Amino acid sequence: MICDPVSIPLWKNINLSNTTNSQDGWLVQGSVANGIVTDPMYLMVSNISHSCDAFFSGIPYSGPQVILGGAQDGDIVSNTIKLEAMITDLSGATANNQQLAVAVNGLPARWSLGPSNTISLDTHYAPSGAYQVIAADWSSFPVVFDLQNPPMDMQVTYDTPTTLSLDFENSAFLVNSGDMCGPEVGTNYIIFGVNQPDTISATISDPSNGKTLASYSGYVPNAGQIALAWNFTQTNGLPYTNDSYAIHFVANDPADLLVTNTISRQGVRYAGGVIITHAGENPNDPFGSLLNSYAQTWIDQTLGGASFFL
């Protein structure tokens, strides 16, 4: 690899919000497929300019490196928090072929990406407790495709995760959204949680016009879960025919949560006869064993605890 000038490190910082990335200035980059690597190995570098200083470096490429800042492991957090993702890459890649995903204990999170890779993560949409925030950067390795020598045994995509352990503590939070449930079930339960006695109210509405489909209110005498029961009908008892609905949950402590669900009309099993199963990831994949562990933890926590039904 050659970098111009030599004072610039080979690693470059990736800014996901635009295509302007620092430490540009690449002249030549070469790669060797895994199947033809030997030890020792000799390379010849040709067809380059000799009018400037240069250095050569052979570095095994393992994908972009991601570091999460803005919080420390074990920090107690609530509401919406700001994290910064520092992404460095050796591939000469730009934001055009980099994608970021954020999860909480292996499940998709409510987050948005701002300037300088700032992640705004809403912690209300996971039950209060200690969880790992996972930020994974997916990148495609830029390779010049040679029809005479295609990279058949070369890895060209990488998925690099990093984790940050945080303690989510909110006065109210989402436990189970009830998403992708169908009318065949009869009654769906959207479950929220509170960490203290509280007065709560909630509405289910049609997101297309704001029409109220169901409303709830009450006082929760102690910390626990609140299950909003809805049977897929309107206030007049007629079936609800649209394919999505919005749940607005308000607690006085305060908390204001909005969830939009999709109705699965292709048929699901009745709740009384469900044997809970889930597919496991390949433990040999970079994310595999980690996701399996998070999935099992989430199932164990979601199914436990007492509920208040409104």
Q: What is the DSSP string of 159-187?
A: EEEEEEEEEE--SEEEEE--TTB-GGGS-
The alpha carbon of residue 10 and the mean position of all alpha carbons in its chain are separated, in whole angstroms, by 29
From residue 185, alpha-carbon distances to 24, 247, 270, 276 in Å are 56, 18, 5, 15
Minimal CA–CA distance to 163: which of 115, 129, 131?
Answer: 131
From residue 177, alpha-carbon distances to 64, 181, 226, 246, 263 in Å are 33, 10, 12, 10, 12
pLDDT in tens, 56-110: 667 677 778 899 999 999 999 999 999 999 988 766 555 567 888 999 988 889 9
> Which of 149 and 42 is assigned the larger pLDDT?
42
Domains of the chain: residue spans and CATH: 2-168 (no CATH), 172-309 (2.60.40.4070)
CB contact set of 148 (below 8 Å; sequence gap of 6+) = none
pLDDT in tens, 189-226: 999 999 999 999 999 999 999 999 999 999 999 999 99
Residue pointed to by tokens 């109705």: 263
Among 31-40, 227-236, 268-277, the minimum mean pLDDT is found in 268-277
